[in-house]
Amino acid sequence: MNLQLLEQIRQEAIASPRHRNAYEECVNDRPVEYRTYLTFDKEMLEDERCMGVMLKEKLKAMRFKCLKGEPLVGRLDVSEGVTPELRQEAREYFKTHEIKWGASSGQSGHCAPDYDKILNLGLDGLREEVEAARRRSSKPLHDNMLAALEGLEAMIGHAADAAELAGNHKLADICRKLQHRPPETFHEGLQLILFVQIAIEKGERAYLINPGRLDMTLARFLPVASHNEMVWLIGFFYLIINYNCVWGLAYGVMICGETPANEISYACLEATRLSRLPYPTVGICVNGQTPDDLMELAVSIVAEGNPNPAFFGDETIRKGLESYGIPHETSGNYINSTCVEITPCGQSNVYVASPYFNLSQILLDSMDREYTSFDELMESYHRHLAEKIREASEGNAANRADRAKRMRRPLQSLLTADCLEKGLDIECGGARYNWIECSFVGLANLVDSLTVIRREVFGKKHLALLELRRLCEQDFENAETLRQEFIKCCPKYGHANPEVDSLINPLMAFIRSELAKYSFFPNDSPWIPGTFCWEMHQRLGAQTCATPDGRKAGFPFADGAGPAQGRETFGPTTAIRSVTSWDHTPLVGGCAFNMKFSKACFADAEAREKLLALIKTFIQQGGFETQINVVDPDVLIDADKHPENYPDLLVRIGGYSDFFTRLSPGMRKEVIMRTQNEL
């Protein structure tokens, strides 16, 4: 392996201002798209047939950079033709024309395409399939798909040129083969997956196209001549994702689950150790058949301070997917679409985090008068929550209608069941599954606050509800002693206390019943809940006054499904008992539990065995997903003060990993404040 080359490009992906600026120019000003738009006049933009031509021209305009020794082509060269004059023209053009086509609301991507289809057929085979469908019943989609394939062929040709120029003649030959024929080796298959990911993301602006189930998709190419070669190829594949992506987002590779572990499963994990970069996460779909040695490998990587391996409860997730209509025989083929939200591979057009709901703000809104009982307050809370859900449903419906009218993604459609069969673009209802997933943020703060209210207002009657609301609005000014009583004397979520934990299942049942009242285009697609938060626990917390649990104004809410920061005072095992005391099955929209340990905890093999036992307990008790930070608090504090000394310090956030020094000041503080567990 050319580790020197890998390190050179890794460092560029981490910190190069030149690369970062060039990429921002390409994404924000979109000079390639700008040139493409000018190919057509305003009226032609109304014709959906032009969407395929636009994509073709964008793919034909893409260029790559390559160094001698690189095993894959995929690093975009975004500098060509990007002049200050062109950027300014693009800004002015998009001010008036972006609303015409490019700025539709809603989401795109957040999925893994049907890689099996293109690996089986190759580009020429896909053309034949589209031509056959067009002969049966000609639709605009078919012309768009053929134009997309023409553009993809040209893009791959430019990649071959870049490899040839760098002296990578074997790699150039691989690229030229992939312009037409399906891959026959692991190396070729991985390169084609990379091309598809780039083409959809950059050509169709369908962001967060995931690599998917690599050990399932690429198993056809086993055995590979050398395990080290496989790790090197996957590690470089990860590096290219980091090189091209927008910071602060997430990409997912998943392994195991219904697929028995194979050599690729282990290589996907080992490649995270080799690349030492934030993206992608490697999610292990853990069930009774997951090999112990693979779990031990993942734990050893985590113990080194690399937080990228994540652990998903395969049986819990599959039950959830099946409850929303996925057949059992295909329910195991899913991906964490970005952080921990789940979407079926190759079959879906799913909106995620649409929207995030601030559970504590809704409680504060409900504290608008005195109530005769706690139950009466909860009835009011439910009414306020139901109204927020209703308002959000209108926004989702409008987004879907807007996208169906104005957006087309022919390449993603070609690699999504059942678009070709229906003759419908993915934006027009062609995909098999078109769910919308939302997320409820600050669960721990809500139930801790409700516990305080039930005890102090309605039980002991120490203060009136409106008085408590006033204290929250004033950030507990001149009431610090009372705030500390709320924090220290009331039981908390994470203490395995039934008084607190029993509040969650009724809340989730109400949320599910309210979401079930709404469905969306197409085919009455369901609205599915989650509790993951990405960075929204920090963002929403910054906008919200103090809450009855004692949280101060502006402080981040608890992340995901775990206890609030600093409240896991009885250790991780007790916290797991709380977190798994309620049903995670319906939360296909994502449900993450963060744990944090110091590196000193893992000085010996016995400590790693204890961590593995914790993870297994969480999964066996019905946990959805858990992720782990192993970093000393002093290191985080010093990195916050001196970020220049820690350019590649990786941490887990709310479902994804990133460099600590890239985070906002508020997110850094939130990570530092998380409970430091001991084993």
What does the pLDDT look like over 82-119, one tens digit per residue? 566 766 666 666 566 544 444 446 678 899 999 999 99
User: Which of 65-74, 127-136, 430-439, 646-655 shows the lowest mean pLDDT across its residues?
Assistant: 646-655
pLDDT band at residue 30 using 50, 70 and 90 as cut-offs: low
Structure-token pair, residue 307: 């937080």
What does the pLDDT look like over 629-645, one tens digit per residue? 888 888 889 999 998 88
673 or 443: which carries more pLDDT confidence? 443
R_g over Cα of the chain: 25
H, E, C per residue of 535-598: CHHHHHHHCCCCCCCCCCCCCCCCCCCCCCCCCCCCCHHHHHHHHCCCCCCCCCCCCEEEEEEC
**How far apart are alpha carbons 62 and 284 in whole angstroms?**
34
Q: What are phi and psi of 388, to 5 degrees?
A: -60, -40
pLDDT band at residue 15 using 50, 70 and 90 as cut-offs: low
What confidence score (pLDDT) does residue 19 get? 41
Predicted confidence (pLDDT) at residue 13 exceeds the cutoff of 70: no
Structure-token pair, residue 135: 């002969």
What's the whole-number mean pLDDT along residues 153-175? 97
**How far apart are alpha carbons 605 and 398 in whole angstroms?**
54
**How far apart are alpha carbons 162 and 346 in whole angstroms?**
30
**How far apart are alpha carbons 115 and 553 in whole angstroms?**
47
Global pTM reads 0.93
What confidence score (pLDDT) does residue 148 get? 97
| Helix H or strand E segment including 410 | helix 410-414
**How far apart are alpha carbons 396 and 408 in whole angstroms?**
18
Structure-token pair, residue 265: 């499963």
Torsion of CA 503, 505, 506, 507, to 10 degrees: 80
> DSSP letter at 40?
S
What confidence score (pLDDT) does residue 600 get? 82
Of how many residues is the chain composed?
679
pLDDT band at residue 42 using 50, 70 and 90 as cut-offs: very low
- Per-position DSSP letters for 69-84, written without gaps between them: T-SS--EE---TT--H
Contacts 24+ apart (CB under 8 A), 364-370: 364/469, 364/472, 364/544, 364/545, 364/547, 367/465, 367/466, 367/468, 367/469, 367/472, 368/469, 369/465, 369/466, 370/464, 370/465, 370/466
Q: Which amino acid is at 154?
A: A
> DSSP letter at 431?
S
What does the pLDDT look like over 255-310, one tens digit per residue? 999 889 999 999 999 999 988 888 999 999 999 999 999 999 999 999 999 999 99
Cite the beta strand spans of 241-355 per DSSP E: 252-256, 281-286, 309-313, 334-336, 342-344
What confidence score (pLDDT) does residue 383 get? 98
Q: Mean pLDDT across the chain, nearest whole number? A: 90
16 or 160: which carries more pLDDT confidence? 160
Structure-token pair, residue 453: 């209210």
Predicted confidence (pLDDT) at residue 203 exceeds the cutoff of 60: yes
Beta bridge partners of residue 652, listed in sequence order: 657
Structure-token pair, residue 158: 């430019």
pLDDT band at residue 33 using 50, 70 and 90 as cut-offs: low
What confidence score (pLDDT) does residue 38 get? 53
What's the whole-number mean pLDDT along residues 10-20? 56
What does the pLDDT look like over 59-71, one tens digit per residue? 998 889 999 999 9
pLDDT band at residue 668 using 50, 70 and 90 as cut-offs: confident
Q: Is 342 helix (H, G, I), strand (E, B) or coil?
A: strand
22 or 199: which carries more pLDDT confidence? 199
Beta bridge partners of residue 256, listed in sequence order: 285
Torsion of CA 325, 326, 327, 330, to 10 degrees: 180
Q: Among residues 528, 533, 529, which one has the least CA distance to residue 504?
A: 529
Predicted confidence (pLDDT) at residue 26 exceeds the cutoff of 50: no
520 or 35: which carries more pLDDT confidence? 520
Predicted confidence (pLDDT) at residue 43 exceeds the cutoff of 50: no
